[in-house]
Structure 1
Amino acid sequence: MDNKKKNRYKNILPYDSTRVVLRKSAELSDYINANFIDGYSQLRKFIATQGPLTRTSEDFWRMVWEQESLIIVMLANVMEGGKAKCAKYWPEFGKSCTYGGYNVQTVNEENRGFYILRTIHLKESGNEYASPTRKIQHFQYIRWPDHGVPLITSSLIRMHNKVNAEYGDLVKDKTFPIIVHCSAGAGRTGAYIGFDILRDEMQSLNQVNVYRAVLNMRNQRMDMVQNMKQYVLLHKLLSECHALGSTGFKPSELNERIAQHTMLMKEFDNLNLILPMTTTKKIALQHSNKLVNKDINILPYDHSAVFIAIQNKEEAAPYLNASIISEYMVNESTIVAQDPLPINVDVFWRAVVDNNVNIIVMLSQPGNGETQDTCLPYYPQENGINKKYGEISVTQMEECTEQGYVQRKLQVVTITHLQCVFWKEVLKPDDMRNLLNLIAVVGHFEDRIWECSYSLLLCFHSDGAGRSGVFCALNNLIQRLRAEDEIDVFRTVKDLRDMRPHMVRSFDNYMTCYKGLAEFRSSFDTYANI
């Protein structure tokens, strides 16, 4: 009866035949909601378990210690959608806690964008000389929704690669199970372990059997891979690994790769090999919305459509050709949009207000909007002038010209408006430096805004795919280069395309990403101080 209280969900229970049995004592039970799962060629390679409850955190660390595990993969957040999904069973960075007979200390924490890598020291408490301290690597993937799947895949594959690299180094001395959990320890946990099993099978046999792999896991723990979305995700992950291979590289290889023009052209063409998991565009294709799409090939996916609140007397929310794009850092997002059109400038400003946009980056040149690269005036043109766009009133408060851009303060909520003036048809070397400077300036503003509130960046140019894609890609690439000292232009662009079609639209755009990184590396000290 006491064991029932240790289950997070009453319908996800461990099978007796494969359950992890803890050492029993007069005070402690041998029960924990966890099962051993075989890898492709290694028995009991994994332990699949539920997210610990507060009352079972001690049992969790007992399991880690007794099984001599050195790697934990966490695929959930402590809170999701306002609901508790897992106890916070580790201390804050720099602090230590005691869980029963074990002392746990978080000695390092690195933000790798979509996942956090922690180093945790674990030892038996009570007698500091009783046993040596063990170093646990704790990987927490923070962008995988419960019962759903990540919209983009590269960061999950990247984390899996890192886990396997760590595991490969550690098992040279002694094998141990990798502990994997989400909330229930079934859906996301099953998809992650299934990916590992199938990736090994693919490398060994050059073929996979997803159905058999999931069935085998379910024979060891119930409901592993809980729904169709997660089952499809397995196929997408495997398809990408097979068709795309490894595309990341060290910064020292950048100039050598830029010189391989033919290879990069093939790499760019490969962006079309694997489609996003969800490609529906029902909202954009509605007859009433056709007039506000500049390019029929650049339509936002439904899953990343921008929120605009319904007002009185409206039967449906208005539509804007714009998409929400996830950035490298998990707490940052960008709205990428096409240029405002005469018939929807008011909707553009409603999107700005409803999404709490604090920074607008305009990559188009001012004009009448009749040519591809010119944008009609959608804000007051002089200081002190106020204009109304529907129900929204916009006032230009300040304007100053900086190197490569014009900075304005627009008052709706307070908005920083950065208008790029250097990007003509072709980017010259000085223009590339101006682009990097603009990205750095935007990052500086974002850091200041994030200290006090949640906000969004809105970036647009023409169709919202070419230059906007380059801007987003370079921003993400620079952030990852700084955090991990690694580069993957291909997957960065692929992830952007999973959120909005044709991002980084041309090969010239693609090369701009590479050349922008080369310029950033050669001038790192300059941009690091902005």
Structure 2
Amino acid sequence: MCAENCTKCAQDGGQCLVCNDGFYGTSCTQTCGQCESNHCDVTSGNCETCQPDWTGQRCDVKVDMQTTDINQSEDEESYTWLYIVIGVGIVVVLVLSIVCVVKRRTTTPRDSTLPSIVKFENSNSPNNQTNPAGEEQGHVLINIGTTESDPIEGPVGISVTMLKTMIVEKMADEEKEFISEFNGFPTGSCHPHTAAEINKSKDRFKSIHPYDHSRVILDSVGKGSDYINANYIDNVEASKVYVATQGPILTTIDDFWRMVWKLNSGKIVMLTNLIEKEKTKCEKYWPDEGEPMSTKTFYIMQNRERDYASHVVRNITVVDRKTKEKRDIYQFHFTTWPDHGTPNTLELVLLHRRVKLTKSVLPGQMVIHCSAGIGRTGTFIALDALFDYGKRYNRVDIPQFVTTMRKDRMCMIQTLEQYVALHEILAEAFDLQETLIPKSTFVAKYHDLASKGQPQNQTQLRDEFRLMLDLKPDYKLEQDFLASTLPQNVTKNRTMEILAADRYRPFLTSYTSNGNDYINAVVTQSYIARSGYIVTQFPLPNTRVDFWTLMMDYQCDSVVILGDENDSEPDTQWIPANKEDIDIGDFNVKQKGTSTEFNGVGVIDLAVTRKNVKAVHNSRIFRMKEWTAERNVPPSKQSTLHLLEQVESRRRSSGSKPVVVMCRDGSTQCGLFCLMANTRDQLKMDEEVDVFQAARQLLIRQPEFLATFDQYEFCYAILNDYLETTDVYIN
């Protein structure tokens, strides 16, 4: 039973998944702030936009401009004498500085390759009544990194090797230090935005507008036509390196493409889905493959679309309708970042790597957008800028760069959660290993990694495996496995050593009155789908009904059985013998025809019906009986390659339905099968492979996968055999 203000909850853990408007929290008992739509994030309580006169992440801070103005007026007289004293002090400092410069003219200047450090101070402060350095939109820019009188020993910030330690320290005491830093950033509208005032109809959110001094100005084609809600953003060392913008609305799609064209951009990074939580976040500004679209200014065609587990890459051609000039543009669409939330760090870092490695002949700025163009957009820009800087100097100053972004676009990195996540994403990025191998060099690289001449425990491959285990998540039994450890569910686990983490388990939805939503299974990604596989154990006597409930609830029509399911406990038959049928609870399972076997892989077709359900559910079972629980690796590479080919062929014919993968304990054989399938798909699709990162992604879902080195090594070996037998590699 869900809590009072909870509209959807987990049946076992009791945690609310969806709250009524106006409430949030694990039990939907906390009240949202003054959100414009009376709806806030179910986990954090953050609002998308605030009602007038309210601000803050949760819209719980009242803005009282009148009181502020009165207080400032009352303070002016009391500060008069202070201003005089400070003014005299500044004159003295300037005189001394001139003397120092004269004395240092004969000294060796600092290394000109080091970056300038620019400090932004509010010009309304009593300490800045005079502006000796030149004023830009309400801020004094004081270059403190290039003067000879103030030499700097090198890049500022923290060493990238200390990032993880710093994160732990700042997370202490309920993230107190992170909260203090984040609350210290300039917030709201800090600079003039007069162009936005007369173009409000072109803004997605009425409270998010571009500053005049940094906005992208389009080539004018009529009144108001030079406006788009977009700003240039600096990186650490150069100006106008990126463009941050909102997700286009219906009336600004042509404006968006005019901006991309004006900038001569070759890459677009999209960090939102078109619809999230039943709200439109961005209009679809590109066509489907084979269905060209046109705007007032351009013809637009999609040439290729590649779907991955966490993102999509599209090759788009844009043609100017007047000049007929043609440009090819890449769009990188990250599909798994929740609005106001945080992404899986490894998935985002791997997308970032793909963006960096993709070469475009167009030299313009990369265009980055989410929905509002501030939260997710700011996080990605900070990742790219600080990663480049950290690689060059081995140091980063994260708070300073957030301030740098916010001087040119308001509220960049919108929430505390995104700010904390940026630190974790950067730590992940700097830890990223150089393990991506082109197909053309894989065979040679594999033999180098294995290094047969070295002691077995000292190969590069074994070093990779050890690092993989070191980096796998450390889930806590009492925090991450609540459903698995409930008394009514303990008997559904074959072993308490291999459990389903709450955040990755599939919820049964059509269970009977004497059942619940738990099954010991995890949803894990294939190379092309976020929910490509559902991995589970062989059914127990009391979970046979749960298994077929899972199959129907998730419309799975393919099952891979690794080992002999008949070697399990008695009374656990869940697949009928040839041309027979069996009843399991409300289910009737019937074998269609006779089973076949070729090259060590058996195939069975089943028809499953359920009481009071008219539709027949058809499933195909793939069996590799010889890969038993006692074997960490398959007995035959040839049979394994045949199994992978059969499963891929079935997946192509049945669409995006998850494939169920089973072994006795739900881990030992299953993890290696998923790794082999994902890396083989990567080789075929992208002509490159990264076994290390593919393994790490699987371990996020089930840390007990790939527990032995011989499994990790076998994946490399079978990919080597795959390339040699298909004769597609280049010597």
Change (3 A) 1:517 1:157: same
* Aligned partners of 2:218 and 2:259 also within 8 Å: yes
* Aligned partner of 1:448 among 653, 657, 660: 653
1:32-59 alpha-carbon deviations (Å, 9 max, x no partner): 1111111132211111111111200111
Deviations 1:496-528 (CA, angstroms, capped at 9, x unpaired): 0111222222111111211111121122269xx
Distance in 2 (CA, whole Å) between partners of 1:347 and 1:422 is 26
Corresponding residue number in structure 2 for 1:470: 672
Q: State the Cα distance separating 1:448 from its structure 2 match.
A: 1.4
TM (norm. structure 1) is: 0.88
Q: CA deviation at 1:323?
A: 0.3
Determine which of 220, 231, 234 is the counterpart of 2:422. 234
Query: What is the rounded CA distance, in whole Å, between the counterparts of 1:259 and 1:70 in structure 2?
Result: 39
Match in the other structure for 2:160? none
> Which SS does the other structure have where 1:273 is aligned?
helix
Task: Describe the shift of the 1:500–1:228 C-alpha distance in structure 2 as closer, same or farther (beyond 3 A).
Answer: farther
Contact 2:507–2:517 (8 Å) recurs in 1 = no
Q: Would you say the 8 A contact 1:37–1:217 is kept in 2? A: yes
Aligned to 1:396: 591
Query: C-alpha distance in 2, partners of 1:107/1:395?
Result: 44
Quick check: 2:472–2:696 contact (8 Å CA) kept in 1?
Answer: no
Amino acid at match of 1:137: Y
Measured after TM superposition, the shift of residue 300 of structure 1 is 1.7
Equivalent pair of 2:599/2:639 in contact (CA under 8 Å): yes
2:484 alignment counterpart: 284
- Kept after mapping to 2: 8 A contact 1:307/1:355: no
Q: CA deviation at 1:2?
A: 5.7
Q: Is the 8 A contact 1:40 1:200 kept in 2?
A: no
Counterpart residue number, 1:329: 528
1:161 aligns with 2:356: no
Q: How does 1:410-489 map to 2 (within 5 A)?
A: 410-412=606-608, 413-424=617-628, 425-426=630-631, 431-450=636-655, 455-489=657-691
The equivalent of 1:341 in structure 2 is 540
Distance 1:385 1:92, change over 3 A: closer
Deviations 1:120-170, CA, capped at 9 Å, x for gaps = 333432244xxx43332222223333333444624x333322322346x65
Q: Structure 1 residues 298 and 16, CA, compared in 2 at 3 Å: closer, same or farther?
A: farther
Q: Confirm or deny that 1:259 pairs with 2:458.
A: no
Aligned to 1:270: 467
Q: Which runs of 5+ in 2 are unaligned?
A: 1-196, 609-616
1:120 to 294, 299, 316: 316
Corresponding position of 1:72:
268
User: For residue 86 of structure 1, what is the amino acid of its counterpart?
Assistant: C
Matched AA of 2:331: H
Cα 1:204–1:136 change in 2 (3 A) is same
Question: Does 354-363 or 14-23 show the bigger shift?
Answer: 14-23
> SS at 2:471's partner residue?
coil
Equivalent residue, structure 1, for 2:516: 317
| Count of residue correspondences | 510
Aligned residues: CA RMSD? 2.8
Closer/same/farther in 2, CA of residues 428 and 46 from structure 1, 3 Å limit: closer
Which of 125, 134, 146 is the equivalent residue of 2:327?
134
Alpha-carbon displacement from aligned partner over 1:381-437 (angstroms, at most 9, x marks no partner): 423433232322222233222321222122211111122123244588971110111
> Which residue identity is paired with 2:442?
E
Q: Per-residue deviation at 1:376? A: 7.1
Report the Cα offset of residue 462 of structure 1: 2.2
- CA drift of 1:301 comes to 1.7
Instruction: Go from structure 1 to structure 2 and tell me whether the alpha carbon gap of 1:417 and 1:58 turns closer, same or farther (over 3 Å shift).
Output: same
Q: In the alignment, residue 637 of structure 2 is paired with which amino acid?
A: M
- Structure 1 counterpart of 2:339: 146
1:422 and 1:311 mapped to 2: Cα distance?
33
1:149–1:364 distance in 2 versus 1, CA, 3 Å: farther
1:301 aligns with 2:301: no
* TM-score, normalised relative to structure 2: 0.65
Contact kept? 2:472, 2:703, Cα under 8 Å: no
Summarize the Cα distance change of 1:313–1:45 in structure 2 as closer, same or farther, 3 Å threshold.
same
Residue 72 of structure 1 and its aligned partner are, at CA, apart by: 1.3
Measured in 2, the distance between the counterparts of 1:525 and 1:503 equals: 31
Contact 2:244 2:373 in 1 (8 A): yes
Q: Give the SS at the match of 1:292.
A: coil
- The residue type paired with residue 378 of structure 1 is Q
The one-letter amino acid of 2:334's match is Y
* Aligned mates of 2:227, 2:448 — CA distance in 1: 54
- Deviations 1:191-230 (Å, cap 9, x if unpaired)? 2111112212321232333333334323332332233443
Q: Is the 8 A contact 2:318 2:327 kept in 1?
A: yes
Aligned-residue sequence identity (percent) comes to 31
**Amino acid in structure 1 at the alignment position of 2:503:** H
> Residue 362 of structure 1 aligns to a residue in which SS?
strand
What is the match of residue 514 of structure 1? 716
- Note if contact 1:111-1:483 (Cα within 8 Å) is conserved in structure 2: no
Q: Which residue of 2 aligns with 1:84?
A: 280
Matched, 1:23 2:182: no
**Larger C-alpha radius of gyration, 1 or 2?**
2
Query: Match for 1:192: what amino acid?
Result: F
Aligned partner of 1:196 in structure 2 is 384
Query: Do the aligned residues in 1 keep the contact of 2:633 with 2:710 (CA within 8 Å)?
Result: no
In 2, distance between residues paired with 1:98 and 1:381? 56
C-alpha displacement of 1:113: 5.2
CA distance 1:27–1:123, change in 2 (3 Å): farther
Residue of structure 1 in register with 2:551 after alignment: 352
- Shift of residue 264, structure 1, vs aligned partner: 1.2
Partner SS state of residue 436, structure 1: helix
Any conservation in 2 of the 1:465–1:505 contact (CA below 8 Å)? no
Range with greater deviation from structure 2 (305-314 or 345-354): 305-314
SS in 1 for 2:437: coil
Distance 1:151 1:392 in 2: 38
Change (3 A) 1:152 1:390: farther
Counterpart residue number, 1:180: 368
Q: Secondary structure at the match of 1:349?
A: helix
Query: Structure 1 residues 322-331 or 393-402, which shifts more?
Result: 393-402
| Cα pair 1:190 1:225 within 8 Å, conserved | yes
Matched, 1:369 2:568: yes
The aligned amino acid for 1:320 is I
Opposite residue 253 of structure 1, the aligned amino acid is F
SS in 1 for 2:217: coil
Q: Alignment partner of 1:284: what SS?
A: coil
Flag the 1:253–1:142 CA change in 2: closer, same or farther, 3 A: same
How far, CA to CA, are the matches of 2:487 and 2:375 in structure 1? 38
Q: Alpha-carbon deviation of 1:327?
A: 1.0
Partners of 1:110 and 1:458 lie apart in 2 by 23
Given that residues 79 and 85 in structure 1 are in contact (C-alpha distance below 8 angstroms), is that contact kept between their aligned partners in structure 2? yes
* Residues 1:491 and 2:686 aligned together: no
Cα displacement string for residues 237-295 of structure 1 (whole angstroms, at most 9, x for unaligned residues): 32223334221112323432452352111111111333449872222232332232233
Please say if 1:41 is aligned against 2:41.
no
